[in-house]
Amino acid sequence: MTPLDLREKPPRGVRETILGYYFLPRTIDKLRAELPGGNMGPFLNHDTGFSAYAVRRLGLDMNEFRDVVAAAPNEDAVVAWLAGRIDPAGAPAFNAKFDSFVIERMSPEDQAEVRARHPVTDTRPELSKLLDIIDADDAVWSPH
């Protein structure tokens, strides 16, 4: 796949889906940004992030997924690979789990980390759901 430069635009939204599952399009965009010629910009892709959590919840290995994205000629090939490994019937429960994550139920340390990674929480303290926080952060993102 071709690399992405996330300094030009953010990855796809957290609620966009592939095979019905949240986070997969966003994770693919981040993995493409890791490719030679790509750029993560202000975005993160690490072991404690939501993309990594989503991949683990699906029973996939992030490094294997990274290799598949790097070797795939296009996103259809990645979707075909995913279709052989995950059941779309599980998507509603998976997505409901992600929709249920709220900052108030996190440890104080994890809350501080979310706030540090998502500066929109400084100006939008009413945001509680993590997916809404990430979406709001993307909405104020600017390439300048």
Enter the pTM of the model: 0.92
Give the pLDDT confidence of 16-57 residue by residue, as tens digits: 999 999 999 999 999 999 999 999 988 888 887 889 999 999
CA distance 110 to 58: 22
- Token pair recorded at residue 110: 């994890």
Q: Number of H helices and number of E strands within the chain?
A: 8, 2
For the chain, the domains span: 1-100, 101-144
Give the pLDDT confidence of 115-124 residue by residue, as tens digits: 988 889 999 9
